[in-house]
A and B are shown apart, each in its own frame.
Chain A
Amino acid sequence: MNRPSTAIALRLRLVSAVSGAVGLIAVQLAVGALFPAIGHTIGKLSIPKGVAQLLGGADYATITGWFRSEITSIYGPLVIGALAITAAAATTAGEEEDRILALVLAHPITRARLVASKAAAVGGVVLVVAIGAWVGMIAGVAIGGGGISFGHMTAFAVHLTFFGLAAGALALAIGAGTGRRSLATGVAGAVAITSWLIYGFAPLVSALGWLKYLSFFYYYAEHDPLTRGVGVVDIAVLALVSVMLAALAMVGIERRDLRA
């Protein structure tokens, strides 16, 4: 890793990362404030199983179900996934398309080391957003009257962090391997959304049930950190996938010509 390259990449993405974190805090304050009214009027929705799965069970009668449906199933992964993917694509393929890498890589730094530095910066972006999600949930749940333990909220932040890392690592691998920002953003975004849909619908068709194991979202959500804490195996899978994709990014950029 190269500290100056990580610092510059992080500095350039910090405003969007902090904005995402502040946004998640604000949303959760609103979600917490709405719970006393929503919890008693909506209760548990009667909707198809797959849709309910996508919405984290759609149980609005409890504060855990309410936050699972609103935050852990939708806003949290959406914000962290979008910011991790755009940061990873911008710091690799984006800089290549903008002719920045041609100058940076004329300095005494290997391509692999530079990509590792960018991966660390993406990790920093993910961490900032995850801390925002964690702080927001603590505050939001308190406003909503409490009911989720500190440990379980921390477990959610840990799961969210590793989901963000895996999404970012995928964009990093595509960006570093192809030098095309739109491809990296588009494919990684599509995989993240498809992964969410597979998690919801694949289990409904027994023949396709195995597909859920290919979904990032499965390892992020299936263990249900808000009620069961950290799923060590799920986190290990997301960590392993992230490391493998980052390694692929390093190999990918070493083996090709930089784009003019």
Chain B
Amino acid sequence: MSAQPAIATRGLTKDYGSGRGLFELDLEVRRGEVFGFLGPNGAGKSTTMRLLLDLIRPSAGSAQILALDTVKDSLAIRRRVGYLPGDWALYPKLTGRVALGYLAELRGGVDERVRDALVERFDADLDRPLHELSTGNRQKLGLIQAFMHEPELLILDEPIAGLDPLVQRSFHELLGEVRAQGRTVFLSSHTLSEVERVTDRLAILRRGRLVVVDSVADLRKVAVQRLEIEFGARVPASEFRSLPGVRKVSVEGRTVTISFEGEADAVVKAAAAHEIVALRPRETDLEDVFLRYYQAGAAE
């Protein structure tokens, strides 16, 4: 595997004014890894991807993909990259079959067997016009077109959006196979839980600036987890407030919601002293991760 990173940006900036855009992004994505790019809507994730594909040009800084300059060598890069835009679109009157046929011709060198295997894997509907397809079925076609030429690097903007759980599982398996082949995936999401199972490392972006790049395991350590516990009877919040790592406790009827850092051991053991009707883990809120990093930065 080449020592050159799959993606390397240096001070990459796209300034749209009024604080919008992407600012001084320094990022390296290693070859052969699945890299998650997280942030809330408007954080600059799609802007970064559009810069990498030369759809827009940087205000400052530079980026390299597969050791090629994203502006000067854009055409060579695009031969080796598969891209799924966020909320992708193609001619709505075309059927999936014609649309994929067009994109395959446009790209050249697409192995029909690979394309057919992807169609079968995702159970994609190729016979209806795109405008008649549901969001999920359209997204399947978007994934197929991005993967069908077996690119060295995949840039996927919100690839899981609209996919049902079964297709998500197929997609996660596909990512595993791609990684095993030494190919690289750079994918964005605004939800940590969507990508934490499939990514090696994550970058978090907020308001156009990089907050952190870390492994999923390390991010999870600092992330504030939320657990919703429904008890058989009312339980006072004070039973949890003093536990190690607990940051916030709220009570609504017989349900207690606890936000805590680190391991869940103390919380679960304290809860076990009561009758538990249901345990519901809540999605980790990216804002909590941001806040943790900001607080850590201020403390240093």
Given A106-B55, A106-B78, A260-B50, A100-B89 contact (CB < 8 Å): yes
**Once the chains are docked, how many angstroms separate the CA of A212 from the CA of B85?**
47
Which chain A residues border B108 with CB–CB below 8 Å?
108
Chain A residues lying within 8 Å of B78, measured Cβ to Cβ, are 106-108
Q: A8-B91, A260-B46 are in contact. Are A102 and B55 (CB under 8 A)?
A: yes
Contact flag A109-B50 (CB < 8 Å), given A99-B85, A102-B55? no
Q: Report Cα–Cα, A5/B107, bound state, in Å.
A: 11
* B294 in contact (CB, < 8 A): no
The answer, yes or no, to whether A222 is at the interface (CB within 8 Å) is no
A258 located at the interface, meaning its Cβ lies under 8 Å from any Cβ of chain B in the complex: yes
Nearest-CB residue, chain A, relative to B89: A99
Contact A102 B106 (CB under 8 A): no
- Nearest CB in chain B to that of A114: its residue: B106
Q: How far is the CB of A251 from chain B (nearest CB, A)?
A: 15
Interface SS, A side: loop
Partner of B89, one of A98, A105, A110, A258: A98
Does B81 belong to the interface (CB within 8 Å)? yes
Tally of contact residues, B, Cβ under 8 A: 26
Determine if B56 and A4 form an interchain contact, defined as CB atoms under 8 angstroms apart.
Answer: no
Are B87 and A108 interface neighbours, CB within 8 A? no
Is B22's CB within 8 Å of the partner chain A?
no
How far is A103 from B57 in the complex, measured between Cα atoms in Å? 16
B283 to chain A, nearest CB (A): 27
A16 within 8 A of B: no
Q: Which of A12, A100, A107, A110 has the most CB of B within 10 A?
A: A107
Which residue of the partner chain B has the closest CB to A3?
B105
Q: Which of A2, A102, A108 contacts B85 (CB 8 A)?
A: A102
Q: Judge whether A107 and B55 touch: CB under 8 Å.
A: no
Q: How far is the CB of B96 from chain A (nearest CB, A)?
A: 14
A195 to B145, CA, bound (A): 45
Task: Check A104 for interface membership: any CB of B closer than 8 A.
Answer: yes
Of B56, B90, B102, the contact of A258 (CB 8 Å cutoff) = B56
Complex Cα distance, B46 from A178, in Å, reads: 21
Contact of B90 with A100 in the complex, beta carbons under 8 Å: yes
Chain B residue numbers with a CB within 8 Å of A105 are 53, 55
B107 contact from A107, A257, A258, Cβ within 8 A: A107
Contact A103 B75 (CB under 8 A): no
Instruction: Determine whether the beta carbon of A110 is less than 8 Å from that of B75.
Output: yes
B264 — which chain A residues lie within 8 A by C-beta? Answer: none
Q: Which of B83, B89, B91, B105 contacts A106 (CB 8 A)?
A: B83
Question: Per-residue 0/1 for A1-27: is the Cβ within 8 Å of any B Cβ (1 yes, 0 no)?
Answer: 010110010001000000000000000
Mask, A237-260, CB within 8 Å of B = 1, is 000000000000000000001101
Which residues of A are found within 8 Å of B90, using beta-carbon distances?
Answer: 100, 103
Contacts of A99 in B (CB 8 A): 85, 87-89
Contact pick for A103, options B79, B85, B94, CB 8 Å: B85
Residues on the B chain within 8 Å of A103, using CB = 83, 85, 88-90, 103, 145
Which residue of the partner chain B has the closest CB to A117?
A: B106
Q: Is the Cβ of B91 less than 8 Å from the Cβ of A12?
A: yes
> How far is it, in angstroms, between the C-alpha of A5 and the C-alpha of B105 when the chains are bound?
9
Contact A2 B106 (CB under 8 A): yes
Closest Cβ–Cβ distance, residue A99 to chain B (whole Å): 4
B248 interface residue per 8 A CB criterion: no
Query: In the bound complex, do residue A108 and residue B89 qualify as a contact, i.e. CB atoms below 8 Å apart?
Result: no
A183→B198 CA distance, assembly (Å): 45
The residue on A at minimum CB distance from B107 is: A107
What CA separation (Å) do A2 and B103 show in the bound complex?
12
B85 touches A4 (CB 8 A): no
Tell me the nearest residue of chain A to B55, going by C-beta: A258
By a CB distance below 8 angstroms, the chain B residues around A8 are 91, 94, 102
A12–B50 CA distance with the chains assembled, in angstroms: 27
- The distance from the CB of A39 to the nearest CB of chain B, in whole angstroms, is 45
Chain B hits for A260, CB < 8 A: 46, 50
Query: Interface code B103-122, partner A: CB below 8 Å = 1, 0 otherwise?
Result: 10111100000000000000
Contacts of B87 in A (CB 8 A): 99
Contact between chains at B93 and A12 (CB < 8 Å): yes
Residues of B participating in the A interface, judged by any CB pair closer than 8 Å:
46, 50, 53, 55-57, 75, 78-79, 81, 83, 85, 87-91, 93-94, 102-103, 105-108, 145
- Which 4 pairs between the two chains have the least Cβ-Cβ distance? A257-B56, A106-B83, A4-B105, A99-B89
A residues at B contact (CB < 8 Å): 2, 4-5, 8, 12, 98-100, 102-110, 257-258, 260
25 contacts between A and B (CB under 8 A): A2-B106, A4-B105, A4-B106, A5-B106, A8-B94, A12-B91, A12-B93, A99-B85, A99-B88, A100-B90, A100-B91, A102-B50, A102-B88, A103-B88, A103-B90, A105-B55, A106-B53, A106-B55, A106-B78, A106-B81, A107-B107, A109-B106, A257-B55, A258-B50, A258-B56
Apart from A102-B85, A103-B103, A106-B83, 13 more pairs, CB < 8 Å: A2-B106, A4-B106, A5-B106, A8-B91, A12-B93, A99-B88, A100-B89, A102-B88, A103-B145, A106-B53, A108-B107, A109-B75, A257-B55
